[in-house]
């Protein structure tokens, strides 16, 4: 398809297996045809109906007339000195997104995007500088995973073991595609991965956090908090004015009650902003509302010069204070910062 050109055809890869089966049945074809098409699309990664040789020629011609096959195509990649791999993918309409593979001795983690850009405007995040273009379809989400899964096998001989929705965009503002992707990832006919190996990170969309709990996806939930008082958090995350901390506490309590899962709190540490013991006490009080584990993340430098990385001495003091409060704390080591692939750095800069 020509970049930017609108089409009346349906992108067949945007359909779930159930939706595809229904569409094929409505055209008078037996159920096994939908299964064949699904395998061509997702098992064999076919992007041309002509190559679907197990289908009759009339059926292939009918499919080509009514549907199109759109896919995200990797066109640029970078490899960090620490082994982190970042790929840039071009979408059918010319927009581009980034996805990251983070390998270590025990796992291969894919950090993937859910939107082109982001509309929430967090002041410290490079993605915010892009503005918001559009949501990704679930197949565009999956394309990132297929690309990174292949790379993981090439690099280590092992497939992806973990997936985090922590790339570009706010996953809970693209809920339907997120849900379809989770279903595809966990389905035996998809990637067959346990939902406990999937983490959805959010700035905090209370209504959608509760909905995610009700959907019984059993994925892990991570909240990008970064400050536990409204004044400071709003200065970092303008959306906090819409969803203040009391709303988040209510939603996260609900998520824990429904799922029984411990909440992950993501907390970026900025120099002389939120790295003092007062901030640590506020965070500890916030975490008394439900079982948590905290990931402390020293800020990864971007073009926003007003933010600086917290000194490691302050990071250590902050972590030790929380541990003394019997809270599970991990200080996350930044990966891929030399290729702008670390947390908060994704901005399509290549």
DSSP string, 157-203: S----EEEE-SSS-GGGSHHHHHHHHHHHHSTTTT---GGGEEEEES
Contact 159, 149 (CB under 8 A): yes
Q: Say how far apart CA 141 and CA 112 lie, in whole Å.
A: 7
Rg (CA), the chain: 21
Please state the φ and ψ torsions of residue 158, each to the nearest 5 degrees: -125, 150
Contact 156, 147 (CB under 8 A): no
Please state the φ and ψ torsions of residue 346, each to the nearest 5 degrees: -70, 115
Strands 10-11 vs 115-117: parallel, antiparallel or unpaired: unpaired
Q: Which one from 118, 147, 287, 343 is the annotated catalytic residue?
A: 343
Q: Which one from 98, 140, 170, 282 is the annotated catalytic residue?
A: 98
| Cα distance from N-terminal residue to C-terminal residue, the chain | 24
The DSSP code for 274 is S
- Annotated catalytic residue 343: yes
Q: Could you identify the residue written with the tokens 């540490």?
A: 269
Sign of CA dihedral 274, 268, 205, 290: negative
Q: Say how far apart CA 251 and CA 255 lie, in whole Å.
A: 6
- Annotated catalytic residue 317: no
How far, in Å, are 58, 112, 137, 195, 232 from residue 164 at the CA level?
A: 42, 6, 17, 11, 26
Q: In sequence order, what are the residues at sequence separation of 6 or more whose Cβ sits closer than 8 angstroms to the Cβ of residue 174?
A: 114, 115, 135, 136
Q: Cα angle vertex 325, ends 322, 327, to 5°?
A: 65
H or E stretch at 101: strand 96-103
Residues with a known catalytic role = 98, 343
């Amino acid at each position: 398809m020509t970049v930017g050109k609108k089409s009346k055809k349906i992108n067949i890869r945007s359909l779930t297996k159930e939706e595809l089966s229904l569409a094929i049945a409505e055209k008078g074809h037996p159920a096994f045809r939908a299964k064949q098409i699904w395998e061509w699309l997702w098992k064999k990664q076919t992007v041309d109906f002509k190559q679907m040789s197990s289908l009759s020629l009339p059926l292939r011609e009918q499919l080509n007339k009514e549907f199109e096959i759109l896919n995200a195509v990797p066109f640029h990649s970078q490899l960090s000195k620490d082994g982190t791999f970042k790929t840039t993918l071009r979408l059918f309409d010319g927009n581009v997104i980034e996805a990251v593979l983070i390998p270590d001795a025990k796992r291969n983690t894919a950090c993937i995007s859910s939107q082109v850009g982001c509309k929430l405007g967090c002041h410290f995040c490079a993605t915010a500088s892009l503005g918001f273009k559009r949501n990704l379809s679930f197949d565009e989400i999956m394309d990132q995973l297929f690309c990174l899964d292949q790379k993981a096998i090439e690099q280590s001989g092992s497939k992806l073991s973990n997936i985090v929705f922590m790339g570009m965009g706010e996953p809970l503002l693209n809920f339907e595609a997120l849900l379809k992707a989770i279903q595809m990832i966990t389905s035996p006919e998809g990637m067959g991965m346990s939902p406990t190996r999937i983490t959805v990170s959010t700035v905090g969309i209370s209504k959608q956090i509760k909905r995610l709990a009700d959907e019984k996806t059993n994925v892990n939930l991570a909240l990008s908090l970064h400050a536990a008082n409204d004044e400071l958090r709003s200065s970092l995350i303008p959306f906090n004015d819409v969803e203040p901390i009391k709303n988040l506490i209510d939603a996260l309590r609900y998520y824990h009650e429904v799922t029984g899962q411990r909440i992950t709190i993501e907390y970026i540490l900025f120099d002389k902003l939120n790295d003092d013991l007062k901030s640590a006490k506020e965070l500890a009080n916030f975490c008394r509302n439900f079982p948590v584990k905290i990931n402390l993340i020293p800020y990864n430098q971007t073009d926003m010069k007003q933010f600086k990385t917290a000194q490691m001495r302050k990071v250590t003091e902050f972590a030790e204070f929380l541990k003394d409060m019997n809270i599970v704390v991990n200080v996350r080591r930044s990966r891929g910062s030399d290729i702008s692939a670390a947390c908060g750095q994704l901005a399509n800069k290549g």
